Amino acid sequence: MELKKFITDSERAMKSYGTVQGTEWQTDKAQPDVSMVDSTMSPDEIEMEMARIQRLREVLVRRESELRFMMDDIQLCKDIMKLKQELRKIVAVPEQEKTNKHRQREEELILKIHKLVQKRDFLVDDAEVERLSLEIKCFAKAGARPQCWTRLIGNRRRIRRWQNS
């Protein structure tokens, strides 16, 4: 009911925005407000629905995480390609014609590319850890021990070392 009230209030604010006079609102009298008190669902059905909603939420959170990873990965790849193109232009200049500014910029570009590649590697490792931990959860629910356990622990240690440095 609160959500419906919020939506109607926000719609009212949006439709009346910029108008001097109020707007007449039509309400659907055939559709009464729904309350959980009036619900015919049993407590078990409510619990099952809550569990289903929780699983759906977990799936959506995982998907959001995957999409964020993909966006970060694409952006890092774009940045790396841009830096590589600039580096190619500098490398194309004959060594005799290069100034100290060219050499310095070449070194800077190499270092930037190296840092971005490292960042992307850790991003990929982090995604792998996430995938493996999900795999472990699935195996744990099934009562089995996954083969990837030692790989997961090694990746987590490596990521922690990188975060602490």
27, 56 in Cβ contact below 8 A?
no
Q: Collect all residues with Cβ–Cβ distance below 8 Å to 61 and sequence separation of at least 6.
A: none
Model pTM?
0.54
- pLDDT mean values, one per 10 residues, the chain (165 residues): 50 46 56 59 87 91 88 93 94 90 93 94 84 75 59 56 54
Give the H/E segment covering residue 52: helix 43-92
**C-alpha span between 86 and 106 (Å, rounded):** 9
CA gap 110, 83 in Å, rounded:
8
Q: Apex CA 98: angle with CA 97 and CA 100, to 5°? A: 140
